Structure 1
Amino acid sequence: MTATAPDASDDAAGDEVLYTGVVVYSTQDPEASSLLVSGDRIAWIGPTETAEALHPRARRIDATGCLLTPGFVDCLPTSDGSPVDEDWRRDALARGVTDAVPGLPGTREGMRVLAPLAETQPLKDLSTQGVPLAFGSLGAEEAAAPWSWVRSAAHEGEVDQRISDRAAFLASSRAGLRLLDIPHPGALNLGVEATFVVWEPWDLTVHSSDIRTNAWSVDPRSRTPMLPDLTEGAPRALRTLVHGEIVHDTPGAIAR
């Protein structure tokens, strides 16, 4: 993966960075293959060909095949509800977890907060009843990787209580931001804060908890964002950005 630097005399390029060749988890444009970061915001998403024409002076990062998603939020980062320390935050950023909401399992702000790997809950029933879900690790080492929360809720346990990958992902990301009183669409749309994760290339899919809907869910016309196929593991976080700043970077994986 390479970066193409702008002309040294081009001051207009400033802090604009263009990620190309990617898959963007966006409800605004699920087919976008480029994303522009300007300052602390997502300033543009769309086709790579258009990006190169509209933003020729931005510093280009070729991250072909990588998936870009909002960061995860751990709503149960510790087993006793205590705050997290800087060591935890550093390690969390390397896993694609960009924030934490310490507390205990149960109901907070009208949300059912739980650890999917540690608790058996009727997730489908709760969702059907309109109960918002928020996930976390409960401080368990085996639950530290955030994609494991999604896999547990969408692919494991009682079949009739599984929820979709998308619902599980939102419970692992947007739900935590709502607990922090941070409005967020749960996707990388235009104007959203540039806090996101660049995941290594991985097989992608759209999976529903109801097999009857899978046929239309994977159709591009459904405009449903793609997520990793978690049946064979989960991707690594190659780079994590918070407010447009790189806070974790896997050495040599992506050129700056």
Structure 2
Amino acid sequence: MTALLATGGRVLTPASRDATALAHENGLLVWAGSDAPGPALFPDAERVDLEGDWVAPAFVECLSDDPGLEVWSSRGVVTAPLPGTHGLDTVGELVRAGERVVLGAGTDPARVADELTRLADELGGPAVARCTPVLIGLTTPVDDGSLAALAAVGAVLLVRPLVDDLAGVDLVRIAASGVTLAASTRAGSAHTESSPTGDTVRPWDTLRALTSVPGGRGLSPRAAFTALTRGARRAAGARDGAAGTLAPGAAATYARWRTGELVVVAADDAVQRWSTDPRSGVPPMPDLSGPDPVLRGLVVDGRAAVPPQ
């Protein structure tokens, strides 16, 4: 596959806070940085002008049983489906077989932590971690001991901000515990004629919900975005640490968004405030208090899924 060099944008990548360009080849991102060196590094690449667009990893949806993938793509969302859910009584059997452990809504996180800890003591922590245990639909507080136990075995908590009431959930404490936090973009549980697929996929509303949990215990926009990209990839089974990012070596799966000025959020006496100060060191994000950014293109594994608009 011919290399592609895209310049003239604003690129969210761990390679550089001020990246304006990226290049990918054979489905993988190979470089991200400033515009100037790009043509010399990739003289034979196909060239794309990003026209000032914000380029970021595509949103990832794990709870994707809907068939309307074209509609999902039109929202900047790609799918990485989880296997079906199981009951807590099957966890031991699944771990011994090396299969994925996915527990549905309503499962007590404290009981999950106890069972996974018991299995880690019996079989070893790596044996449990290889199954990437996922707990879907957290709606109740989780104590520090359970969080530590879940973090120790590589568990993922997958929240559904547009389905469940997160009023009693301290996302800040969960994120700080070491547990991987993932999130679903879905606002509904299934596709029906009265509720088209596209109406259930609302990534920007999901970001707003994650950042506005009552009591000031919501995530920063950057952490919320990570839950919808890298966290969701982790929930789906990725273990390389780069999936869901635009790090060199990761899959070239990204969206182009037309948006206004990018901003960062800084803490000020426990109150979040919008700022454009570059000295914060926090990668800037679209302003969630404004209208949704407009999707201008989607690339999946190096190929255009939604052509540039």
Q: TM-score, normalised by structure 1?
A: 0.79
Letter in 1 for 2:58: G
Query: In structure 2, what is the equivalent of residue 10 of structure 1?
Result: none
Name the residue aligned to 1:94: 74
Corresponding residue number in structure 2 for 1:66: 53
Q: Could you say if the C-alpha distance between residues 138 and 200 of structure 1 is closer, same or farther in structure 2, counting changes exceeding 3 Å?
A: closer
Measure how far apart 1:142 and its partner are: 5.5
Residue 126 (1) aligns with residue 174 (2)? yes
Residue 204 of structure 1 contacts residue 229 of structure 1 at CA under 8 Å; is this kept in 2?
A: yes
Whole-Å separation in 1 of the counterparts to 2:241 and 2:66: 23
* 1:146 and 2:146 aligned: no
CA shift for structure 1 position 143:
5.1
* 1:137 is aligned to 2:182: no
- Counterpart CA distance in 2 for 1:206 and 1:187 is 18
User: Secondary structure, in 3 states, of the residue corresponding to 2:36?
Assistant: helix
Query: Does 1 or 2 have the higher relative contact order (CA < 8 Å, sep 6+)?
Result: 1
Give the secondary-structure state (helix, strand or coil) at the position aligned to 2:202.
coil
3-state DSSP of counterpart to 1:48: coil
Q: Could you tell me which amino acid in structure 1 is paired with residue 231 of structure 2?
A: A
Q: Which runs of structure 1 show a deviation greater than 6 angstroms over 4 or more consecutive aligned residues?
A: none
Aligned CA RMSD, in angstroms, stands at 2.6
Per mean C-alpha deviation after superposition, the further-off stretch among 100-109 and 192-201 is 100-109
Render the CA deviation track for 1:59-113: whole Å, top value 9, x for unaligned: 2111121111111112334xxxxx332x2x2111111111143464461572222
Distance change in 2, residues 1:196/1:184 (3 Å): farther
Match of 2:132 in 1: none
Question: Is residue 264 of structure 2 the alignment partner of residue 206 of structure 1?
Answer: yes
- Aligned residue identity for 1:181: G
5 Å-filtered alignment, 1:15-94, equals 15-77=2-64, 83-85=65-67, 87=68, 89-94=69-74
Structure having the higher Rg:
2
What's 1:197 paired with? Answer: 255
Task: Identify if the C-alpha distance between structure 1 residues 159 and 232 changes in structure 2 by more than 3 Å, giving closer, same or farther.
Answer: farther
Q: Which has the larger displacement, 31-40 or 115-124? A: 115-124
Matching residue's letter, 1:201: T
In structure 2, relative to structure 1, the CA distance for the partners of 1:132 and 1:54 (3 Å cut) is: closer
- What secondary structure does 1:160 align onto? coil
How much has 1:225 moved relative to structure 2? 2.2
- Please name the residue that 2:159 is paired with: 114
- Contact preservation (8 Å) 1:177, 1:184: no
Matched letter for residue 220 of structure 1: P
Deviation at 1:165, TM superposition (A): 0.7
Q: Distance in 2 between matches of 1:138 and 1:33?
A: 31
Query: Does 2:218 match 1:162?
Result: yes
Match of 2:298 in 1: 240
| Post-superposition CA distance 1:18-68 (Å, at most 9, x none) | 111111111221111111121211122111111123323322111121111
**2-structure distance, mates of 1:207, 1:159:** 17
Contact preservation (8 Å) 1:194, 1:242: yes
Q: TM-score, normalised by structure 2?
A: 0.66
Aligned to 1:8: none
Measure, in 2, the Cα distance between the counterparts of 1:51 and 1:92: 32
Q: 1:59 to 1:222 in 2, by over 3 A?
A: same
SS of 1:68's partner is strand
